[in-house]
A = this chain, B = another copy of it.
Amino acid sequence: MAKIVQCVPNFSEGRRQEVIDQILGAITSVEGVKLVDYSSDASHNRSVVTFLGEPQPAKQAAFKAIEKAKELINMDEHKGEHPRMGATDVVPFIPIREITMEECVELARELGQEVWEKLQIPVYLYEKAACAPERQNLSNLRKGQYEGLKTAVAEPERMPDFGEAKLHPTAGITAIGARPPLIAYNINLGTNNVEIAKRIANVIRGSKGGFPAVKALGIKIEERDMAQVTINMCNFKEVSLFRVFEIVKNEAERYGVNVIGSEIVGLTPMEALIDVADHYLRLENFKMDQILETKL
């Protein structure tokens, strides 16, 4: 089976469809790369693109998209609600099939060097590709955003990993990295009391002493008059969906509240759900290659 990597670049353009189309076109122009999804948000003024491919075509497609975004986006003219620092803001590589995180880290570093050398856009390496622990977290790197980084990037501790200590005059600076697949997962509660959802979110979220690989918030879904624990599962191999589901169910019981359902928003790797089945069926020695579709 071929190695497959996922790439989810974020671009600082969510309004001009013709610009978005040209960036998508740069990606799909590379043979062997499969565009899976994209979404644009006008108030964030940002687009998130998802594509799959073998490692070298995926890297080439990411490069071409960064090149096109540099050509068409001027950060001095960009406004939007979402924090951002470059025309191409972030480019994560994600291992999907037959490929290790280390290979994705290598891919990110190769791309970072190429982006600086050929496009003169400076690059930060982040998450698993980061060269120092304090550079893993994207929000640390992005502090001050595009405008603030114009001067902050000259500080020794904020030097780019590739490039000189200044931003590209229109394309800013890009973060390139490697990370596990992210699953957007919501658990719906049989109550409209958002305080209960908030308390449960605090039990599981890493920033409150819960799982480091889990981000969670308690929110109210107005149209269903329902409280929800909305979750980013940042590493399903470290913390499985079933474990988060069971903890939320258990915590909710303490308030006499039931879990009425859960939702996976967007895409998930197959393995994250096979892992759930494996747990509840108490499977012995199940291997992913027993799944018929993996033979295709």
Interface residues of A (CB under 8 A from B): 4, 6, 34, 36, 52, 96-97, 181, 188, 241-242, 245, 259-264, 266-270, 273-274, 276-278, 280-286, 290-293, 295-296
Contact = CB atoms under 8 A, between A and B. Distances in A.
A34 B295 contact: yes
A6 B264 contact: no
B268 A292 contact: yes
A208 B130 CA distance: 62
A222 to B, nearest CB: 17
Pick the most buried of A96, A181, A291: most chain B CB atoms within 10 A of its CB: A291
B260 A295 contact: no
Contact of A261 (B245, B273, B277, B283): B283
A293 B263 CA distance: 19
A263 B292 contact: no
Which of A6, A97, A285, A293 gathers the greatest number of chain B CB atoms within 10 Å? Answer: A293
Given A262-B283, A264-B286, 5 more contacts: A52-B292, A245-B281, A267-B295, A270-B293, A293-B293
Contacts of A296: 4, 34, 52
A282 B268 contact: no
Question: Which residue among A188, A280, A286 has the maximum number of chain B CB atoms within 10 Å of its CB?
Answer: A280
B245 A292 contact: no
B270 A96 contact: no
Nearest to A1: B296
Nearest to A36: B295
Contacts of A282: 259-262
Contact of A264 (B181, B269, B280, B283): B283
22 contacts: A34-B295, A36-B295, A52-B292, A52-B296, A241-B277, A245-B280, A259-B282, A260-B282, A263-B284, A264-B283, A264-B286, A264-B290, A267-B292, A269-B291, A269-B292, A270-B274, A270-B291, A273-B274, A273-B277, A273-B278, A276-B277, A277-B280
A248 to B, nearest CB: 11
Given A274-B273, A276-B277, A36 B292 contact: yes
A45 B287 CA distance: 29
Contacts of A283: 261-264
Nearest to A284: B261
Nearest to A286: B264
A284 B270 CA distance: 17
B262 A290 contact: no
